[in-house]
Amino acid sequence: MRSPLRTVAAGSIAAVALLAAGAVFGLRETPPPAPAPVAAQAPADRLAESISRAQARLRELPRDHETWAALGLAYVERARVTADPSLYPKAEGALRRSLKVRAADNPVALVGLGALANARHEFAAARTFATDALRGNPYNADAYGVLADAHTQLGDAPAATAAIQRMLDLRPGLAAYARASYDLEQHGRLTEATGLMRRALDAAVDPADVAFCRNQLGDLAWFAGDLEGAATEYAAGIAADPSYQPLLRGRARVAAASGRIDAAIADAATVATRTPTPDTLMEYAELLRLGGRAPEAERQLKLADAAHKIFVANGGSDDLTGAQLALTRGDAASAVRLARSEWRRRPFADVADVLGRALHAAGRDAEALPYARRAAGLGPRNASYAYHLATVSLAVGDDAGARAALRRVRELNPYFSPTDGPTAARALSALEAQR
Amino acid sequence: MTTQPHRRRRRVVPALAATGIVLAGALAGLGPQVSSASSHREAPLIASDPAADNTDLYAFVSPERPGYVNLIANWIPFEEPDGGPNFYPFATDAAYNINVDSDGDAKADAVFRWTFKNVDRRGGSTFLYNNGPVTSLDDKNLLFKQTYTLSSSFNGGPFQTRISDAPVAPSRIGAASMPDYQKLRDQATVQLKGGWKLFAGQADDPFFLDLRVFDLLYGGDLSETGTDTLAGYNVNSLAIQVPFKDVALRGDAKRNPVIGVWTTTDRPKVRVTGQTELGPRGDRVQVSRLGNPLVNEVVVPANLKDAFNSISPDKDAGIPAVVKRVTDPELPKLIESIYGVPAPATPRNDLVEIFLTGITTKAGGPIKADLNSQLNNMDVDAKRFRPSEMLRLNLNVPVTAQPNRLGVLAKDLQGFPNGRRLTDDAVDIAVQAVEGAAQTGKLVDALAAGDKVDANDNTFGDVFPYVALPNQGAVNAGKGTGTAKSGTNASPAAAVGDSGPALSPVSAQASSGTALSTGILVAVIGVGSLVTILATWWLRRRRTAPAFARAEDTIPL
């Protein structure tokens, strides 16, 4: 039988593993700055409550397939909120157990497995699970949510939109609004996307959900180059749930863009300490580099590598992160190989972007150009993609293309990166001076 | 001229080189879509939704105010008392409705609609709800509260606002923070011109049961029941008290005493496809629905719960996919596999038919009595009658002086399934429903005592809104902290007479050639099961009266 205590212990395995890695490699001699003061009482964590209620019930009733499925889904949700991949095997165990008790007519377990597959970036499998679940219960809004996420990541935008609309028609609410907002954002309809995310915020109750919505609103403001609006949303989110890490990442972005590198580094350090995932560690490393602390940045990159290995060890597959890590190591050949592998699985804007960068790093700019263009086409509101397109364009001698892309950067969000932003501005000035 | 491109290029590169920066991507990039984890945006999937979490509906005639009916609906089960930061708001983006059908067409003839607003003075700096003791709803120390607008619509007409900015009784966040909660409850109980009384806010969860009774479906052991699983937890209640004439067909409760009641929550329809951004004005999507107790827990098969919650009662009779579920229900088979009690013969059209319509002689069902079908309303057009799952109440049944928890089954015709009082023991009826065998009259012995929880942990009030005050303290640390003032339910157990039931099953045979041939909804199973229970109960009472008399003697009603 599972005990709540053991759950808590297992839940922090990833963090422990990383801390241990840090101890072994001697990478953590600099304690992160103290987090912002929070109230003594934490807000209620209803997800944790429902997990412990399910565990208690299953101790009595190991044949309750519905509760096993619900527990598995709750683990997946918790893994999302806490960015703790060690919950994936627990989720899978609960969901498989549910199917073992009731193999047929068990759509909730299939939805859970689909959500888990999405979390592990196995999007084709997720699509299959969701489709199977819907065969058993065509009214299951959660299944449409899983299906929409899978379609989105697999690059089938029309199918994703259709699944989201179905979800909205079946059960409007936070989960559907959030996906609809993302879908609109993908289509460049930022004003409507913001409106729907506000609606999601209205529907949010749990602090983690409020934080999620505030973070998305902050990101939308950030996308539009609205630093002040972004800062306001991130601050409101942090007030609702100080433990939600992406908000600190957002605040760090704003600080870095405003020239407050030390504040940005402090927030990034807090995030990287609490949720040491590859991308938080890479962000931390980038800010450390920006702050002239290259040796510390190198240590964080080693940790990022370790975190990626943990994600993979827990059944996740994410060659995109692998490619990014290879890029930071200067291993262009591996970056190209990994990014290609991800692209075969998931022809998505960010994958095209990384593949383009990898090819560029390998000196294969002619091959890089179509991918850079693809990324900019798939993500027309993304200043980073436009910047990378400019980089490749310049390398192949297409000054006009580079100039157009850099103008796009300026128009979208000149603050998109504390390192690349100023470079982009200078490059555009130089290019425009040529006329 | 031909060399110009080269010249230009040469000038660009030094310009960049002069800055000392290579035009290349930063290592991770800080844009939200650049690194994989943030671009693969994982949105919440199973977020808490207080609007969809409706738990129970009660409908009963006012014992202390003749001519008035109470409709009480609850949302959000398992609210932990005294959590400090635990505050359970109503959703502000949804509408909460109590619907009444008086003419039997399964469409609402009266709708009472609550919509909520937050009054949040926290300024984004804290998540705490109060800043010192709260002695009134206007207390400055109460940093967060809600208000509501109640509007109503009759006979399909437009909604008219009856009151705006009415106060919601806040979540009870501890004795230190709220030293006199009764005062807050009283301030949140309002009376409108015309006599309506309203309440919205937190209360003790009035439902009493041991949830483990349902565990038999998962191989559980019924010998371990007897604990009120919901004791100590709170819910969010909406209550309204209106005169009969406002809900009865043609305003005449003498001629048309039967109403059907169900709750719904809905949100505006949102479109991301097609030409318009939003659907037609006023177009709404139902996210939850509730009529009879335990329909979602016990009755509706898991795969059909979502469908059931999304449709309106007038669609109940028109979903072909579930017909088989109704005529060939799953639950009796489960019972058969666990307890070896043969499932009743199928198809079960007789039972299904009866419960979709309420208890009446006008639909050809086995119970020869006219109790609570809209078909018995004198001004009903029988041709427009539509079978559907809802909680049906005959307003003309006199108030029972000593209510019996077993309601109609114990000859107390004022109780469930004729409406539902706070003290009615819905579970013990449903427990028998799962073995539902009116045809055989056999009960499963292991289920005979039901869940062994016969009354709520807190006594109910004898005036509107009746529900007990919210509990305080840890859930398992002692009971009764939420008792409302002047409870009347502590009176001695009702004596159970030996005379036969007022209603008796006449035939368990399915009556063929009825009007209700095909297409009957899922929920019907529940309804059908309840009828089964009724019939079974009486059969059993005839044979084993002592056992039941003992069970009933323990009822503190």
How many angstroms separate the CA atoms of B365 and B351, rounded?
A: 7
Residue B296 has pLDDT above 80, yes or no: no
CA distance, residue B101 to nearest chain A CA (Å) = 24
Contacts of A41 in chain B (CB under 8 A): 84-85, 128
Q: Are B452 and B210 in contact (CB under 8 A)?
A: yes
- In this structure, is residue A276 part of a structural domain? yes
Torsion from C-alpha of B176, B177, B183, B187, nearest 10 degrees: 180
Q: Do A44 and B302 touch (CB under 8 A)?
A: no
What's residue B491's pLDDT?
Answer: 29
pLDDT in tens, B154-163: 999 999 999 9
The rounded Cα A361 to chain-centroid distance in angstroms is 24
Q: Out of B46, B127, B273, whose CB is closest to A43?
A: B127
Residue B38 has pLDDT above 50, yes or no: no
- In this structure, the answer to whether residues A292 and A323 fall within a common structural domain is no
**Three-class secondary structure assignment of B82-151:** CCCCCCCCCCCCCEEEEEEECCCCCCCCEEEEEEEEEEECCCCCCCCCECCCCCCCCCCCECEEEEEEEE
Q: Which of A196-205, A319-328, B142-151, B361-370 has the lowest mean pLDDT?
A: B361-370
What's residue B527's pLDDT?
Answer: 37
- In this structure, is residue A106 part of a structural domain? no
Torsion sign, CA atoms A91, A97, A100, A104: negative
- In this structure, the answer to whether residues A360 and A417 fall within a common structural domain is yes
Residue B14 has pLDDT above 60, yes or no: no
State the DSSP string of A60-125. H-TT-HHHHHHHHHHHHHHHHHHT-TTHHHHHHHHHHHHHHH--SS-HHHHHHHHHHHHHTT-HHH
Q: How far is CA B100 from CA A187, B108, B264, B456, in A?
A: 43, 5, 11, 27
| Most distant pair of Cα atoms in chain A: their distance | 77
- In this structure, the answer to whether residues A358 and A424 fall within a common structural domain is yes
- In this structure, the answer to whether residues A356 and A263 fall within a common structural domain is no
How many angstroms separate the CA atoms of A391 and A388, rounded?
A: 5
Torsion from C-alpha of B464, B467, B470, B472, nearest 10 degrees: 120
Q: Do B31 and A427 touch (CB under 8 A)?
A: no
Domains in chain A, number: 2
Q: Do A348 and B85 touch (CB under 8 A)?
A: no
- In this structure, the answer to whether residues A256 and A329 fall within a common structural domain is no
CA distance, residue A50 to nearest chain B CA (Å) = 10
What's residue B224's pLDDT?
Answer: 62
Q: Do A417 and B29 touch (CB under 8 A)?
A: yes
Q: How far is CA B74 from CA A123, A325, B174, B234, B267, in A?
A: 39, 52, 21, 10, 18
Q: How many CB pairs under 8 A join A and B?
A: 277
pLDDT in tens, B487-535: 333 222 222 232 323 332 222 222 222 222 222 222 333 333 333 333 3
- In this structure, is residue B15 part of a structural domain? no
- In this structure, is residue A392 part of a structural domain? yes
Q: Are B557 and B493 in contact (CB under 8 A)?
A: yes
What's residue A170's pLDDT?
Answer: 93
The 10 Å CB-count burial string (b at 16+, else e) for A295-322 is ebbebbbbbbbbbbebbbebbbebbbbb
- Name residue B96's beta-bridge partners: B114, B265
What's residue B536's pLDDT?
Answer: 34
Domains in chain B, number: 1
The rounded Cα B359 to chain-centroid distance in angstroms is 21
Instruction: Name the domain boundary from A292, A309, A326.
Output: A309
Give B226 or A102, the one with higher predicted confidence. Answer: A102
Mean pLDDT of A394-407: 94
What is the pLDDT confidence band of residue B2, given thresholds at 50, 70 and 90?
Answer: very low
- In this structure, is residue B133 part of a structural domain? yes
How many angstroms separate the CA atoms of B60 and B81, rounded?
A: 27
What is the pLDDT confidence band of residue B266, given thresholds at 50, 70 and 90?
Answer: very high
Question: Closest Cα partner for B296 from B207, B171, B415, B224?
Answer: B207
CA distance, residue B142 to nearest chain A CA (Å) = 17
Question: Among all residues of chain B, which has the CA nearest to that of A38?
Answer: B126
Percent of chain A with pLDDT over 70: 90
Q: Do B126 and A39 touch (CB under 8 A)?
A: yes
Domain that holds residue A263: 244-309
pLDDT in tens, B238-251: 999 999 999 999 99
Give B33's Cβ-side CA count (13 Å radius).
25
Q: Do B23 and A423 touch (CB under 8 A)?
A: yes
Task: Name the average pLDDT for chain B.
Answer: 72
Q: Do A175 and B93 touch (CB under 8 A)?
A: no
Amino acid, res. B89: P
Q: Do A168 and B272 touch (CB under 8 A)?
A: yes
What's residue B216's pLDDT?
Answer: 59
Q: Do A164 and B38 touch (CB under 8 A)?
A: no
Q: Do A286 and B30 touch (CB under 8 A)?
A: yes
Contacts of B125 in chain A (CB under 8 A): 239
Task: Enter the ipTM.
Answer: 0.76
Strand order in the sheet with B68-79: B54-61, B68-79, B234-243, B197-204, B189-191
Q: Which of A99-113, A180-194, B99-113 has the lowest mean pLDDT?
A: A180-194
pLDDT in tens, B167-185: 999 999 888 889 999 999 9
Instruction: Name the domain boundary from A267, A289, A309.
Output: A309
Q: How far is CA A70 from CA A106, A142, A383, B53, in A?
A: 11, 12, 40, 16
Structure tokens at B465: 């809104």
What's residue A293's pLDDT?
Answer: 94
What is the pLDDT confidence band of residue B50, given thresholds at 50, 70 and 90?
Answer: confident
- In this structure, the answer to whether residues A358 and A249 fall within a common structural domain is no
- Could you give phi then psi for residue A316, rounded to 5 degrees? -85, 150
Instruction: Name the domain boundary from A261, A291, A309.
Output: A309
- In this structure, is residue B71 part of a structural domain? yes
The rounded Cα B261 to chain-centroid distance in angstroms is 11
Give A283's Cβ-side CA count (13 Å radius).
35
State the DSSP string of B443-501. --GGGTTTTS--S-SSPPBSSTT-SPPPP-S-TTS-S-TTPPSSB-TTSPPPP--SSPP
pLDDT in tens, A77-87: 999 988 788 89
pLDDT in tens, A16-31: 344 344 333 333 334 3
Question: Among all residues of chain B, which has the CA nearest to that of A346?
Answer: B40
How many angstroms separate the CA atoms of B512 and B349, rounded?
A: 8
Q: Out of A279, A418, A434, whose CB is closest to B36?
A: A279
pLDDT in tens, B319-338: 665 555 656 666 667 667 76
- In this structure, is residue A358 part of a structural domain? yes
How many angstroms separate the CA atoms of A46 and B46, rounded?
A: 11
What is the pLDDT confidence band of residue A422, given thresholds at 50, 70 and 90?
Answer: confident
Torsion from C-alpha of A308, A314, A316, A320, nearest 10 degrees: 10
Q: Do A175 and B41 touch (CB under 8 A)?
A: no
Residue positions counted in chain B: 557
Name A103's Cβ contacts closer than 8 Å, sequence gap at least 6. Answer: none
What's residue B85's pLDDT?
Answer: 62
Question: Among all residues of chain B, which has the CA nearest to that of A50?
Answer: B78
How many Cβ atoms from other residues are within 10 Å of residue B352's Cβ?
Answer: 26
Give A66 or B24, the one with higher predicted confidence. Answer: A66
Q: Out of B37, B287, B306, whose CB is closest to A172?
A: B287
What is the pLDDT confidence band of residue B218, given thresholds at 50, 70 and 90?
Answer: low
Assign residue A304 the CATH number of its domain: 1.25.40
pLDDT in tens, B60-115: 999 999 999 999 999 988 888 865 567 888 999 899 999 999 999 999 999 999 99
Contacts of A66 in chain B (CB under 8 A): 302
CA distance, residue A365 to nearest chain B CA (Å) = 12
Residue B346 has pLDDT above 80, yes or no: no
- In this structure, is residue B65 part of a structural domain? yes
- In this structure, is residue A220 part of a structural domain? no
What's residue B446's pLDDT?
Answer: 54
- In this structure, the answer to whether residues A260 and A369 fall within a common structural domain is no
Assign residue A355 the CATH number of its domain: 1.25.40.10
- In this structure, the answer to whether residues A289 and A358 fall within a common structural domain is no
- In this structure, the answer to whether residues A325 and A419 fall within a common structural domain is yes
Q: Do A171 and B38 touch (CB under 8 A)?
A: no
Structure tokens at B413: 């015709």
How many angstroms separate the CA atoms of A273 and B232, rounded?
A: 39
Domain that holds residue B511: 54-553
Torsion sign, CA atoms A251, A254, A260, A261: positive
Residue A33 has pLDDT above 80, yes or no: no
How many angstroms separate the CA atoms of B72 and B60, rounded?
A: 9
- Name residue B391's beta-bridge partners: B261
Contacts of A175 in chain B (CB under 8 A): 43-47
Amino acid, res. B74: N
Q: Are B94 and B108 in contact (CB under 8 A)?
A: no
Torsion from C-alpha of B271, B272, B276, B280, nearest 10 degrees: 0
- In this structure, the answer to whether residues A357 and A421 fall within a common structural domain is yes
How many angstroms separate the CA atoms of B519 and B321, rounded?
A: 8
- In this structure, the answer to whether residues A350 and A292 fall within a common structural domain is no
The 10 Å CB-count burial string (b at 16+, else e) for B224-257 is ebeebbbbbbbbbbbbbbbbbebbbbeeebeebb
Torsion from C-alpha of A280, A285, A286, A292, nearest 10 degrees: 150
Residue positions counted in chain A: 435
Name A40's Cβ contacts closer than 8 Å, sequence gap at least 6. Answer: none
Long-range CB contacts (< 8 A, 24+ apart) of A391-398?
Answer: A391/A357, A391/A360, A391/B23, A391/B24, A391/B25, A392/A356, A392/A360, A392/A365, A392/A368, A393/A369, A394/A427, A394/B12, A394/B23, A395/A360, A395/A365, A395/A368, A396/A365, A396/A366, A396/A369, A397/B9, A398/A369
Task: Name the average pLDDT for chain A.
Answer: 86
